[in-house]
Amino acid sequence: MSIEGARVLVTGGAGFIASHLVDLLVEQGARVVVLDDLSAGSLDNLASVRGDIEFIEGTVCDPDTVDRAVAGCRLVFNFAANADVPRSVKHPDIDFMTNSVGMYNILTAARKHGVERTMQASTAAVYGEPDYTPMDEDHPLRPISPYGASKLGAEALGLAYHHTYGLPFTPVRIFNTYGPRQPRYVIYDLFRKLQRDPEHLEVLGTGEQVRDYCYVTDTAGAFLALALHPEADGRPYNIAGGHPVSIRELVGMILETLGYRDTEVTYTGRSWPGDITRLVAGLDRIKATGFAPTVDLKTGLKNFADWIQP
């Protein structure tokens, strides 16, 4: 399929990752529709493409709004979600409605309108605590947060639609993505704390947690490549950067990026419900489609620093 001139829906397109995908789609000549309720995203993230896209302010929880947004689209990327795990622990209803029911509404509309591929932004949280690392896509699925469970429900439904109705559907399990426009999570929090106090840094947890960071434009590029790949359909794909680091190593790299040599770093030792200690992705399946990240962590952190402290 040629992306040029194709009408494409991106739900959650005013958010961090999906706004980068919108940039890429516009650059490649797609006619992009964004559906976002702006509960977490911002129109600022779409400022450079605002004149080139159709923006619908609304929720994926409303079937009529979804139907209107999906009509005429050849591709749908479903990124709309509550992406905040601690919030999902307090309000599991929001996750279930947005992540699971929202996906149901999209699949229903995709089936009705003959969408050529529906892509779901799923998450490594569907795995839960690892039996082994790196976790490939066949690793057991035992989410330990309502967020992970609601995303797994959405995946399962999409794959069932694929098998039952032949609906083209691909869930992509994002490990940790970072980069400009990200308004939360570890990297953002560490930079913000260091902006307030370059001399002392308190880090949540033990510092031993391991994460596999992927730069946001690499994640966005992989979603588009998978959406257009003739065989990447009907089964899940992991996506990550492929170079796992401990939080302790990450802290060292951030301090180096900022040129801070004398910061006193302390670790609280406490974790939080839903937190997973080792998130390392098996990437053989996505690499077989041609995926190769282009931005390493050192460069990505420099870009992040330029964005957060202009």
Residue with smaller CB distance to ligand NAD, 63 or 198: 63
The minimum distance between CB 241 and ligand NAD, in angstroms, equals 11
The minimum distance between CB 197 and ligand NAD, in angstroms, equals 26
| Residues of this chain that bind ligand NAD (CB under 6 A) | 11-12, 14-18, 35-41, 59-61, 79-83, 98, 102, 121, 123, 174, 176-177
Alpha-carbon distance values, 217 to 12, 55, 108, 292, 297 (Å): 16, 21, 29, 12, 12
Residue with smaller CB distance to ligand NAD, 38 or 47: 38
Contacts of 16 (CB under 8 A, 6+ apart): 41, 45, 83, 177, 179, 181, 182, 183, 216
Phi/psi for 46 (5° steps) reads: -110, 10
For residues 227 and 229, give the distance between their C-alpha atoms in angstroms, rounded to a whole number. 6
The minimum distance between CB 171 and ligand NAD, in angstroms, equals 11
Among residues 136, 169, 148, which one has the least CA distance to residue 83?
A: 148
Burial class (CB in 10 A: 0-12, 13-18, 19+), 89: middle
Is there a contact between 229 and 117 (Cβ–Cβ < 8 Å)?
A: no
Is there a contact between 293 and 213 (Cβ–Cβ < 8 Å)?
A: no
Residue with smaller CB distance to ligand NAD, 84 or 296: 84
Q: State the residue for tokens 């159709």.
A: 54
The minimum distance between CB 148 and ligand NAD, in angstroms, equals 10
Is there a contact between 267 and 206 (Cβ–Cβ < 8 Å)?
A: yes
Residue with smaller CB distance to ligand NAD, 66 or 251: 66
Residue with smaller CB distance to ligand NAD, 83 or 247: 83
Active-site annotation, residues: 147
The minimum distance between CB 13 and ligand NAD, in angstroms, equals 7
